[in-house]
Amino acid sequence: MKVLLRNPRREIDVDGGRSVDRLLDDLGLSREAHLVIRNGTLVPGDARLEDGDTIEVRPVISGGS
pLDDT on residue 64: 66
- Contact, 35 vs 57, CB < 8 A? yes
3-state secondary structure of 44: coil
Give the model confidence (pLDDT) of 13-55 as tens digits. 999 899 999 999 999 999 999 999 998 999 999 999 999 999 9
What residues form DSSP beta bridges with 64? none
48, HSE (Cβ side, Cα atoms, 13 Å): 3
DSSP 26: H
Confidence class of residue 8 from pLDDT cuts 50, 70 and 90? confident
Instruction: Please say whether the structural domain 2-59 has been given the CATH code 3.20.20.70.
Output: no
**pTM across the whole model:** 0.86
